[in-house]
Amino acid sequence: MGGQTESGGIESIIPSVESLAKTRGFATEVPEAFRREALAFGPFDEVLVAEGGSVVGMVCRGSAPELFARFSDELEGKGWLAVESGQECVRTFVKAQGDYTWLLLSCTQAGSWASATVFAR
């Protein structure tokens, strides 16, 4: 049956993001301070937030390089200084003051999906 169960498709064996968030203690909403100081985000198919906004992951349909460019532009527009990593679609950002002063942005492609992971301190 190629990954399907009697009760339905693959969805019946892979937990939803909401159930994963609930059982693992993740949030599905980005904190207001993160939206204000770092990334406001647009509509995403899935968002998981850990450690009170110190780790944020999101998934959407599209291009990882385009998502990376969009987020980089937004961060630089909010006063963040980019520090190149030497890796494609990975960059560190710093700023002098605020709730967050260090941030690592990493975007990856998985088929037609783009994912972004942000570590912020």
The ranges assigned to domains in the chain are 25-120
Which CATH class, in words, describes the domain spanning 25-120?
alpha beta
pLDDT at residue 13, as a whole number: 56
Task: Tell whether the model's pLDDT for residue 19 goes beyond 80.
Answer: no
More confident residue, 57 or 4: 57
More confident residue, 101 or 26: 101
Do 118 and 80 form a contact (C-beta atoms < 8 A)? no
Average pLDDT, the chain: 86
Chain segment 20-46, per-residue pLDDT in tens: 777 888 888 888 999 999 998 776 778
Residue range 63-69: average pLDDT? Answer: 96
pLDDT at residue 9, as a whole number: 54
Please report which confidence band the pLDDT of residue 14 belongs to, taking 50, 70 and 90 as the band edges.
low
Instruction: Tell me the whole-structure pTM to 2 decimals.
Output: 0.82
The single residue listed with the structure tokens 């942000």 is: 118
The burial of 93, by beta-carbon neighbours within 10 Å (0-12 exposed, 13-18 middle, 19 or more buried), is given as buried
Q: Distances from the Cα of 12 to the Cαs of 15, 45, 56, 71, in angstroms?
A: 7, 18, 25, 33
What does the alpha-carbon distance between residue 114 and residue 68 come to, in Å, rounded to a whole number? 9
Q: Distances from the Cα of 71 to the Cαs of 9, 22, 32, 87, in angstroms?
A: 34, 27, 17, 16
The single residue listed with the structure tokens 């939206």 is: 35
